[in-house]
Structures are given as structure tokens and as C-alpha cells.
Structure 1
């Protein structure tokens, strides 16, 4: 039993090595297979030793999610917020454990459902692969509909496996997740049949045939999917000069330790004002700043030097700050025209759990204080917002929203022509900005849009619709950069139809299972 648990944990850790910044993306194509084998090989385990059975997907999930989101421990120490060192350590540990377990709960649910169906109906391997793939995609869709969304299997391929990431244009990230689960399932089924060959000598030839059939199918599927991705990747980008937009990016590099205090305010005002003036002199059309670049409300901003610089230079600014809504505030991005008018406002819709608000606050509020030092209460913006600019409609994501592909798809379907993402990222370790960049690469490919990223401490960047990073800033550096992007009005299959693959897989697997059960009953009656 210890060996089985060890295999589950190690294979989960292997999957945890795949996301940025480690980027061992190739491991994702077989790191789930050991857990699959453990679940299928002993179908009675879930009913006879439930705790032991649950430990297997739990350890796999902790290995994957725990390693993938380990950057969250970078919020420690929070002594700059007045949190004692030991309390800060406890809060950081709690956040990591809570999110890792939430991600692991998806794996446990998947394993339990697949094991029950397999044990109840004794399904054959091909149907098992179909059902296992459909279940995982369905669970990811369900988990992503909530406020706390962890690491999808799809983002194990970003930002380096651009060919497979182009499958996201078909049905979003679920296309990539389905591909990974299906290949892993076929490899697992090949292994299961290989082991059976040793035990059933009378049917060794038949079992060997099935072993090679599953393994060959996995290889063909893996290669075929990359070929499809290559075809999508090779489509030329039509870029008319009439759609060109020269944008500037300011990476202020204001550490969180000082950002919300007088020293930080002064440094931010000077850095962003000087950066704005320099970029304006480079004849950019607009300038993007990070999330809460100037942590003030609009009424306060209009009394500062940055606003005066806008009136002086006359260049559009996309400014991160705080919006006022009664007694509450929003984490917002404003379009400020060269005449100083507020052209549009976007309010962040996906607030950071445990950071900008506490999930189940009535239960957890006594255990952990809100990590933001702001005295005001942050509220979420409307999910149906659009963000018009003097250059056309934009797709906006603030920080955590980059994890939600549907958020970007909806705005693209509503006419968004380019992507603007504004983030802070300064609270966490260096692996978090790398993963955030990887998420924005996926969003750019899925929507077939240019993406402009401005962050506080890195990585800021420019990503083209094929996921190529045209420019990437350093980490923990003050930087300004000007580059040209192009507005696009194309609509990928995903933008038009959304995640159509997941319901097709779920319905298809349910129908296949019903036919299998019906056919099995007919066979029994004949006997």
C-alpha cells in the first residue's frame, strides 16, 4: 500500500514540474497515467478501503497543485502589514494548503467517479478513456465556474508548447485538457494490458495485441494533435497598417512593502509620471500601467502630477487605480483621454480569494484576516462589462482574471480587438509572474488577439496571436517599453461557440455508456 501511495505522490509531483517556470511540459503527457492505473487495477478498493483509495488521488492532487501553486507562500513575511512573523507564516501556510486541497478535491472527485463507473459496469478500456476524459473536462469546467480556480491541466503546456496551445482556438483550454487526459488514459490502458499479459499466458497474444493498440493510438493521437496545432500555428497573421496601435508599457517596480504608504506613493507618482512623459515623447498612441499603479481614487488622481502630465502630453492612458462606488471601492482600469476625461472604466470581476476577499467569510473570517491592507471593502465589477477605448473595444483582465478563459472569450465575442492585462504580482515568489505570463499566452491564442501586459514588478510583455512573446520585461526592475500591436476582429471557433467540447464529451460518453449497458443486458438475456 505504501508503494501505491508513493507512486501517486511522485506522479503528481511530476505533473507539478510542468507549469512555468520549470516548464517540463512533456511530463504532462504521461504523469497522470500512474494514477489511472492505480484506480482501474483494483476497482473494489473504493468500496472496501475508502480512506486508502481517497489517499491516492489526494496525494496526486497535492503533488500537482501543491507544487504548481507553491508561489503563494511568497506572501510571507507580511510584517510590513503589521502581521507578526509567526502569524504571517501561518497565514501563508493556510493559503497554500487550502488552495492545494481545493485543487486535489477535483482529482479525488474524478477518481471516485471513474472508479465507481468502472466497478459498477465493468466497462472496456476504450469507453473508460472516453469517460475518464469527459469527467476531467467536466470537473474543470465546474471548478472554473467558481471563485477559486486552480491549475487546469491545460496550462502545463504554456508558454512553450505553442503547437498544442493552438488547440485552444477550437474549444478553449478544455481541448488541451482533453488531449492530455486521453493520451494519459491510453498509455495507462496499455500498461494495464501489459501487466495482464504476464498473468494470463493463455491469452498472452490477444493481450499483447491490445497493449500495442492502446500504445499506438496514444502515439498517433499525440502526434496528430500536434499536427493540427501546427496547421493553426502556421496561419499567417494579416496585419494592416490601418489597425496598428503603438502602445507604451510602464513597469513601476514598487515593492508591496512600501506601495500603500507615503514612500511608495511618492515613488509611484514619480516613476509613472516620468515614464508616461518619456513614452509620450516616443509618439505612442496609448500607455498602459499595472494594476493599482497609482493606489488612489479618481478624485485624488486628478490632483496629482500624473494627471497633469496627461493634460500636458495629450496621450491616452490606461491607468490602474481604485474606483469609488458608494462606500466601497473597486480595483479598476481607467481610460483617460488626452484632455483628461474618463472615457471608460473597467472594474475587476474576479477578486482574489484570501487576498481581496475571504471565501466563506462567515466561517474563515476569524481564522485569517484579509491580506489586503486597505481599510475599504473591495467589491467586484459586473461580469458583463465592456471596455471601449478611443481605438476600439478592448478585452481587459486584471491580475487573477487571466486564469478564466471564458472572461476573455466573452469580451472577444462582444467585439474586443486586443487584450490589455494589468497585474501587480509583487506579493508572491518569482514563479507566479512566469505562470501569469503563461496564462496570458493561452488567452492570446484562444481569442486570436494581440495581448499587452503591464505588471508592477514583472513580467510585463507583448504577446502576438500565435502566442509568441514579442517582448518580455525583467523581474523586479523599473522598465518602460513601446511596441506596435494590431487590432483584430477575427473570431476563432472557441470565441464563437465557447467550450462546446466538454458537453459533447459528457453527452457522448453518457450515450456510449447507455449503449454498452443496454448491449450487455441483451447479451446476458441471450445466454
Structure 2
């Protein structure tokens, strides 16, 4: 196929893959996109051709999947020009990731027209997904397993995690790609058998891995819908605090009342004259207050979740966002990077995943981006009986990102067998069941109080015990084994 046609087609396939993520939720789109690109890569005969095809695919994938970076920087960072430059650079860098996965799989497959699409490319894809989840602080966005949260393949998640679901998607795509590469009756049977087998395994694993403990708790999630331009304005602090105090008093009597990430527009220590009386008032009504707040400890500043009391409890965010919550190389770059980062200065990372106690139960806490890391959320288990995620997705603007973020939070509930309370500043706040289903959700970009009940759970899913290590080992050793057993020869026989 002429490059003039093949490269735009590869980019279009990458964009189609992104349609599998929320809010579109086209679960078949990643299968179709990967089947097309796997078949194309399998029949490519040069490294240069694989690199070009893979990078074009990555550009379409990243461009359609994380275009919202522009809104974050243009609206709340350095303006439209900075937004365009930063988005172009980040999309260009992200595109290297699928390119590397496709090159690795192509090389390990050794031009074998069954082994390459069915085994080498799926294993390499998942191996690279796992590596990018921790390399250079980690990039977990757009892992393809999230696209199957509402399909039978989701039943794999409590056992194998999101990367197990990713592998199932990639292997199904590989079966179709094997038929596209060499059509025939046997390949048709294979293309049909692989998804049937994957779904059958998922259905066989469909069970309750955890059990309820005690009675459900009443909860109210306060979604203040505070605009970022207003949030850190010193003249607005009193009004913002007053809004949250009023919303809280409306729901006194609910067992849990939750504020979103950094809902407090000042450091926690600067608001104790309001918070301490409110906490006493809440306790007298049978309520526990849980709120997102910046916290100062000496020279260190933390993005935290607090449970006011005597003494107060704090969870400090452990996985910070570079250039959002701290700026690497700030000392070297001087004032060049001052337009990024938090208005309060660089945050420090917390160290403990220990749950917070509220309403007599243990809450496993994650803040914003942390909910995209399955193994880190599982660090709070087995002690945590509920999961709590607080976030401020106002940075994303009116884009697909708030929906994508919610989709990843749903996967964490499914992986751990825990219900999740998700409190966000501008939406989408939600109560998520232990199988990843949305039990209730609030609006987007509206002030709202989401009230309902949550059920504490106990027990450990296999994923909570094993984390990502089984899938990482399978992907890495599997890819390496294929390479050692003949992929390096690149025989070109096209079996």
C-alpha cells in the first residue's frame, strides 16, 4: 500500500481506538483499530516502515485521546500559544509509546504471520502499557483495558487488573488481524474462537470476590463547581468557604459528608477557626466530615484529605503530577517554568497509604490522578472498607477527560471489590459499586449535592493480592521468549 495512503489510514485507526474510551464507549473500536494496525505491521518488511506506521497510529491515538491537554494549559496555564505548543509536544511524545509497542512486537514475531499478530504484538502492547505506567513517574491514561468496563471482559479485572483486560482486547484484535493477513477458513475460525474464549474466561471468573460488612452508610458528596479563576483569588476565599459550610449544614445527619480535592481555598491550618466548630457540629449530628485541603507542615506543602477532629487525620497525596503539582528542574530553569504548577508552590509527596477512619469505617484514599494507578489504590487494602477519590477536574474544561477519569475510577472499584465515593469540584462526582457500575452520578459543571448510600466491603480480590506483576511477567517474558525462539531471525517466510 502506498505510504501516501497507509500513513493517514494508520493515523485514522489510532483516532478510532480512542473512541473506545468514555464518553463514547464504543468497546469494539479498539478491537477494530488494533486488528487493522496489527495486520498492517505484520506485513511490513522494514524497520523504517514499522516506525512510520506505528508513529502515525500513535499520533491519531494521542491526538484524539488526550487533546484536552490544550484546555488545561491554554485556559489555566500559559495561554493559547503555550497550550498549542505543549499539546503538540506531549502528543508527539505520547505517539512514541504505541510506536515502540508495535516495533517490539514486530521484531519479536519474526515475520511469522500467525505468531506476530496473535502473540507477539498483543504481549508487546501490554508490556509497554505496564512500563509506561511507572517510567518517568508514570503515564496510565488511555490503557485499552478501560474501554471494556461495561463488557464481559471486565470480569477479568478483579483477577488480572486492567492490563489483563488490555491483553484480552489485544489478543482478540490479533486473531482478526491473522485472518486479515491471510484469509482462510482456519483463520476465520481462529478470529471467532479467540473472542468467544476470552468472554468465556471472563464469565467463568464472574463472582463476588468481597463481602459486605455492617450496614450501608449515608453519604453526601458536595460538588461546589468553583471556577479555577476564582478558586485561588484571595478576595473569594470567604465566599467559597461559606458556600461549602452552607452545603455541609444542609446535609448534617448523613454519616459521611465529603468535600472534593483542595475544596478548602486556604491551608488547613488557616481555617481551623471555621473547621473545628463545624466538625463538632457534625459529630453532634452523627456526621463525619471528610475534605480535600492543602496542608502546610513546616516548609513542606501537601495536597491532602483531612478528617477534622481531635486529633485531625490526614492523607497526603503520594503520586504527584509533574508540572501540575510540582515542577521538575525548576531550580535549573529559573523563571521559565513559573507559569506551570500550583499557585501555592510545589507540593511534597506523602509516604503512607494507610486508610483514614470516618463514620466508624476505613477509607482508602486517592487524590485525583492517583486513581489511575491500580496497584497504588490497592495499597490501602485489606484495611480499607471503602474507596474515596477526591478530584478537581475543572482543569480539563468541557472535554472528554472528566469522563475518561471517571472510567478509570470505575476500574479501581472493580479491581478491588470495593465501593467508591468520588467527590469532584466540577464533576463528575459519583457513587461507584464494587463491580465498577455507576450507582449514582452528579452533573458536570454544576453546583450539586449528590446524596446516597455506600456499602463497606471486606476481603481481597486476586488482583489486590497480586497487583500487576503476573501480567507484567507474562507480557515481558512472553515477548522475550518469542524473540529468543526466532523473532530475531526475521525469516520472512510468512507462515
TM-score higher than 0.5: yes
Q: CA deviation at 1:145?
A: 0.8
Q: CA deviation at 1:433?
A: 1.4
Matching residue within 211, 229, 248 for 1:276: 248
For residues 108-507 of structure 1, the aligned pairs below 5 Å read 108-118=99-109, 121-123=110-112, 125-126=114-115, 128-146=117-135, 147-149=137-139, 150-158=141-149, 161-194=150-183, 208=184, 212-233=185-206, 235=208, 238-239=211-212, 242-280=214-252, 283-304=253-274, 306-314=275-283, 315-336=287-308, 340-359=309-328, 361=330, 368-382=337-351, 384-390=352-358, 391-412=360-381, 414-430=382-398, 431-499=400-468, 500-507=470-477
Between the aligned partners of 1:411 and 1:370, the Cα distance in structure 2 is 34
How many residues align structurally?
Answer: 481
Distance 1:41 1:124, change over 3 A: closer
Tell me the residue number matched to 1:89: 80
Tell me the residue number matched to 2:52: 55
Between the aligned partners of 2:229 and 2:490, the Cα distance in structure 1 is 66
Distance 1:354 1:517, change over 3 A: closer
Instruction: Confirm or deny: 8 A CA contact 1:162 1:466 kept in the other structure.
Output: no
Instruction: Confirm or deny: 8 A CA contact 1:30 1:184 kept in the other structure.
Output: yes
Q: CA deviation at 1:248?
A: 1.7
Q: CA deviation at 1:376?
A: 2.5
Matching residue within 10, 13, 18 for 1:11: 13
Q: CA deviation at 1:429?
A: 2.2
Between the aligned partners of 1:35 and 1:369, the Cα distance in structure 2 is 41
Q: Larger radius of gyration, structure 1 or 2?
A: 1
Between the aligned partners of 1:170 and 1:491, the Cα distance in structure 2 is 10
TM-score (norm 2): 0.90
Distance 1:112 1:511, change over 3 A: closer
Q: CA deviation at 1:235?
A: 4.3
TM-score (norm 1): 0.85
Q: CA deviation at 1:452?
A: 0.3
Instruction: Confirm or deny: 8 A CA contact 1:354 1:370 kept in the other structure.
Output: no
Q: CA deviation at 1:236?
A: 9.2
Secondary structure of the corresponding residue to residue 349 of structure 2: coil
Secondary structure of the corresponding residue to residue 378 of structure 1: coil
Tell me the residue number matched to 2:34: 32
Secondary structure of the corresponding residue to residue 426 of structure 1: helix
Q: Which runs of 5+ in 1 are unaligned?
A: 195-207, 522-527
**Bigger CA drift: 224-233 or 471-480?**
224-233
Q: CA deviation at 1:364?
A: 6.7
Instruction: Confirm or deny: 8 A CA contact 1:358 1:364 kept in the other structure.
Output: no
Between the aligned partners of 2:454 and 2:460, the Cα distance in structure 1 is 17
Instruction: Confirm or deny: 8 A CA contact 1:437 1:459 kept in the other structure.
Output: yes
Secondary structure of the corresponding residue to residue 182 of structure 2: helix
Secondary structure of the corresponding residue to residue 95 of structure 2: helix
Between the aligned partners of 1:489 and 1:365, the Cα distance in structure 2 is 49
Distance 1:128 1:471, change over 3 A: closer
RMSD between superposed Cα atoms in Å: 2.6
Between the aligned partners of 1:260 and 1:332, the Cα distance in structure 2 is 16
Between the aligned partners of 2:333 and 2:167, the Cα distance in structure 1 is 35
Between the aligned partners of 2:376 and 2:79, the Cα distance in structure 1 is 32
Q: Which runs of 5+ in 2 are unaligned?
A: none
Q: CA deviation at 1:509?
A: 4.5
Instruction: Confirm or deny: 8 A CA contact 2:209 2:461 kept in the other structure.
Output: no
Higher relative contact order (CA 8 A, sep 6+): 2
Between the aligned partners of 2:414 and 2:372, the Cα distance in structure 1 is 14
Instruction: Confirm or deny: 8 A CA contact 1:356 1:370 kept in the other structure.
Output: no
